Amino acid sequence: MSLSPAVFWAALLGLTALRLLVAGVTPISPDEAYYWVWSRALAPGYLDHPPMVALWIRAGTLLLGHSALGIRLLAPLSALLGSVFLLHAARRLGAGRGYVAVLLLNATLLFGAGGILMTPDTPLMLFWIMTLWSMARIVSGGSGWWWLVVGIAAGLALDSKYTAALLLVGIGLWLLLLPAGQRWLRDPRPWLGLVVAVLLFLPVILWNAGHHWVSFLKQGGRTGAWHPARAVQFLGELIGGQLGLATPIIFVLCVAGLIAVSRVAWQRRDPAAGLLVALGVLPALVFLQHALGDRVQGNWPGILYPAAVIAAASLPLTTRLLRPALSVGFVMTLIVYVQAWASPIPLGGVGDPTIRVLGGWAPLAATVTARAQAIGAQFVVIDEYGLGSELALRLPASLPVLAQDPRWALFRLPRAGAAVTAGTRGLLVRTDRRRTPPDATAWGSLYTIGDVGRGRYGRIGETYTLSSVTADPEAGQILTRLPSGVTP
């Protein structure tokens, strides 16, 4: 399959335009709405992740407002920029087929989804690829001052997601185990690059130190989970998930490519092959080990894709399978885009993730507003972060969204205060997925008044119980006020 530069760049720009369109018309997911709340209360750290995703959303909304496209603006643009960095990294690492590597990455379902959604993986992927690119400059004989760029890129990756620590581990092993890397150990510039990375990550460390290390403990606690009796299940989920997210043919090519570069790195101590092993095979082994005792989320292995597609690009097998690989990958991604936007395939309600996660948020917000007005509620209260964030994004400022959840105490958000005085009536919205009764700590009275479903075209993805509550005298100090009233 031959490809001219003009056709390649036209295809990449066209794909970016498509992603911008899909990002603008696809409803915001609860996690994205949660990260949007982060962007309204900027801080050096958060309970779940470092702050980069909040900074990116803040930048997008400053440019385009609090719309779906504003929140996601940097996702398609970062996918484009990451593709450019990957192209040059592949060429410098000797693959000689940079166009092929870029096309393979863009045809994966995981990168396609990351190109329209705004999650911590979105900036992580860009800065991971930038680190790979800057290391490729060093491997191909570039100046030692590129180690500073490596430090900047790795530090920004750490500010995106803690998984970026595997970058430092991989590069460290490359330095220690390969002759080409060992010569740099006597040069101060790699160490200076490490200092730069740590300095960029230092605000996150200090935030954790000031908040009882909650974020490190939350994410680090996952590594301690151990359920070996379910290892076969977890390994099956990991491999099956990556078959789908990489798309089947590209998955096979990536595995074959990583095996091939591992052989070259072992036999020849080749620095380029060794780098691909460090940033591709090492993360794969870490996730395989994790799957022996706990579930690996499908998006986690995305960080090994850039090295894997570079490794796959130079295989003769890839030349033969490139056309069907790209066809299957892009068709699968297009189907997911359409399903996420409109759910035309009748997969059911709760059984359809696009309905369960994306469907019906705007009608739900309208119903909640109407029911609150009908009972004279002065506020809406929630006890689940995804639901609360979606309502905060959509409800008017005249109807404050108050959160009854300990996690919000870690945010730079105000207490409800004067918005809730003793006896003030509110509307509690609570998912029926919760089997326990609501926390009545802040309420003088609480009684159910009805329920409401959320979905698309009559297919219900989730139902909620609506309750009337009246505040007790301490409610204003217990509840946190979420940002709201930003959408027309």
119-136 pLDDT, tens digit per residue, is 999 999 999 999 999 999
Amino acid present at 161: K
What's the average model confidence in pLDDT over 28-57? Answer: 96
Q: What is the mean pLDDT of the chain?
A: 93
Query: Pick from 469, 460, 411, 480: which is nearest to 440 by CA?
Result: 469
Query: 69-73, 293-297, 366-370: lowest mean pLDDT where?
Result: 293-297
pLDDT of residue 440: 87
Query: 49-53, 71-75, 264-268, 437-441: lowest mean pLDDT where?
Result: 437-441
pLDDT of residue 95: 66
Residue scoring higher pLDDT (342 or 115): 115
Q: Is 406's pLDDT higher than 80?
A: yes
pLDDT digits (tens, 9 = 90+) for 292-309: 888 899 999 999 999 999
pLDDT of residue 225: 64
Q: Rg of the chain's alpha carbons, rounded to an integer? A: 24
Query: Pick from 20, 15, 21: which is nearest to 103 by CA?
Result: 15
End-to-end CA distance of the chain: 49
Longest dimension (CA), the chain: 76
Residue scoring higher pLDDT (110 or 229): 110
Query: Pick from 250, 260, 248: which is nearest to 94 by CA?
Result: 260
pLDDT of residue 94: 78
Query: 112-126, 201-215, 408-422: lowest mean pLDDT where?
Result: 408-422
Q: Is 424's pLDDT higher than 80?
A: yes
pLDDT of residue 347: 77
Q: Is 488's pLDDT higher than 80?
A: no
Share of the chain above pLDDT 90, in %: 80
Query: 12-26, 305-319, 471-485: lowest mean pLDDT where?
Result: 471-485
Cα(110)–Cα(321) distance, integer angstroms: 20
Share of the chain above pLDDT 70, in %: 97
Residue scoring higher pLDDT (141 or 227): 141
Query: 42-46, 61-65, 271-275, 352-356: lowest mean pLDDT where?
Result: 352-356
Q: Is 179's pLDDT higher than 80?
A: yes
Confidence of residue 327 (pLDDT cuts 50, 70, 90): very high
pLDDT of residue 487: 64
Half-sphere exposure of 307 (CA within 13 A, CB side): 31
* Whether 480 contacts 488, CB under 8 Å: no
* Whether 423 contacts 379, CB under 8 Å: no
Q: What is the token pair recorded at 64?
A: 């385009």
Q: Is 322's pLDDT higher than 60?
A: yes
Confidence of residue 4 (pLDDT cuts 50, 70, 90): confident
What's the average model confidence in pLDDT over 358-380? Answer: 95
pLDDT of residue 223: 63
Confidence of residue 250 (pLDDT cuts 50, 70, 90): very high
Q: Is 46's pLDDT higher than 60?
A: yes
pLDDT digits (tens, 9 = 90+) for 207-224: 999 999 999 998 876 666
